[in-house]
Structure 1
């Protein structure tokens, strides 16, 4: 089978590079097209004695946290996704749980365990969650900001292609940059929220069955080869 339509991976590195590698291993014509770049923010770690656990929703939070992270090493980490859990372990943290769904599900599980005070190591731009009665303190340690599209972007979206949207914010930016080209472009969204942020006018939109790379790439594989004989 040929590689099919090009697959445009828009998430920032290092996650974007990992997605491209996984996609190419599946035989897809994956192109790195990062539309955002992550960078560290200054922050000060609070007293870990004030918290029962730490919530980490992105591996970027661990990678870009800097030397302050060591002050929180005593807190058990509840991580969203295997990649985040692996980054936390590599940084010397103790992972108590790795949720395979989203942050809201993980917070629900933490509440059911009686965890009352949670430090959330997060990005500057983040979603709101229901802490289910727990005290949830957000500490932004990184930011993800838009960057100009790579020079190949205009040429690639001028023809049919499949794009990956790993967040609602990313989906909205993809939609804005795609403009009228949406009519011949297909989009794979990590969640229903991301699909809604992308708006209408696409040739096709697919929502991943689970919020992870494997599920997104399964949908992408189908869209890239749709119509192949």
Structure 2
């Protein structure tokens, strides 16, 4: 166990399980404490011919889209992160580009190449993106809802620990749940925007260089070595 600090992973499944497994391989004492759960919502498939590309910003969209996703298989996929790209390929889609930055950076790259009509298969709760003059149509196919913290939550946050925030919503919920305990909690956010959503007062607050697990866990490793308990 690196530095004696436990790592609390709050993202929904199945991503939670994957992050815990990656952390364990690095020797980190990781605990699955999901604070959200994903679910499918009803959606109607538009005509693929009306769009030039499909934007996917989360693997959750692929997991919850259902069989009608195959009707969009003619569209080249632009995916944020390798996990989303891998999920798209597994679903039979063709990935044209995998962005290693955030969703806005990927959208900027698409529009710079004159991709004009973009379908964004997304969640019910989503960040605003600037289409830079292109037509961007958000279409929600899933929702990520808060769930009650696991029984172990109270004891885990009562002592020094490192928490991961994979979205602005998760950062805000973590902040609300830990309250004054944040003074002894270190928080690692997937991006600077997510770190900003967490507010102030943490023992340490850091944003990953790249919006992926590898970058976040590298920070966790450094924080555990740096501070211990």
Query: TM-score of the superposition, structure 2-length normalised?
Result: 0.97
Q: Equivalent residue for 1:89? A: 89
Which secondary structure does the structure 2 equivalent of 1:226 belong to?
Answer: helix
Q: Equivalent residue for 1:159? A: 159
User: Matches of 1:2 and 1:207 in 2, distance apart?
Assistant: 20
* Residues 131-150 of structure 1 mapped to structure 2, 5 A cutoff: 131-150=131-150
User: Matches of 1:79 and 1:216 in 2, distance apart?
Assistant: 19
Q: Equivalent residue for 1:13? A: 13
**Residue 51 of structure 1: how far off its partner (Å):** 0.3
Q: Equivalent residue for 2:188? A: 188
Answer whether contact 2:35 2:148 (CA < 8 A) is retained: yes
Q: Which ranges in structure 2 are unaligned for 5 or more consecutive residues?
A: none
Answer whether contact 1:124 1:140 (CA < 8 A) is retained: yes
Q: Equivalent residue for 1:123? A: 123
| Residue 48 (structure 1) aligned with residue 48 (structure 2) | yes
Answer whether contact 2:159 2:184 (CA < 8 A) is retained: yes
Answer whether contact 2:2 2:224 (CA < 8 A) is retained: no
**Residue 227 of structure 1: how far off its partner (Å):** 3.6
**Residue 225 of structure 1: how far off its partner (Å):** 2.5
**Residue 113 of structure 1: how far off its partner (Å):** 1.2
Q: Once the two structures are superposed, what CA deviation does each residue of 1:39-96 show, in whole Å capped at 9, x if it has no partner?
A: 0001010011100010000001001100110111111100001110000000000111
User: Matches of 1:23 and 1:112 in 2, distance apart?
Assistant: 36
Q: Equivalent residue for 2:112? A: 112
**Residue 215 of structure 1: how far off its partner (Å):** 0.7
User: Matches of 2:54 and 2:161 in 1, distance apart?
Assistant: 39
User: Matches of 1:127 and 1:2 in 2, distance apart?
Assistant: 34
Q: Which ranges in structure 1 are unaligned for 5 or more consecutive residues?
A: none
**Residue 222 of structure 1: how far off its partner (Å):** 1.4
- Paired residues, number: 229
* Residues 161-176 of structure 1 mapped to structure 2, 5 A cutoff: 161-176=161-176
User: Matches of 1:121 and 1:191 in 2, distance apart?
Assistant: 21
Q: Once the two structures are superposed, what CA deviation does each residue of 1:178-209 show, in whole Å capped at 9, x if it has no partner?
A: 01111111100111111111111111111111
Which secondary structure does the structure 2 equivalent of 1:64 belong to?
Answer: helix
Q: Once the two structures are superposed, what CA deviation does each residue of 1:71-124 show, in whole Å capped at 9, x if it has no partner?
A: 111111000011100000000001111111111111111111111000000000
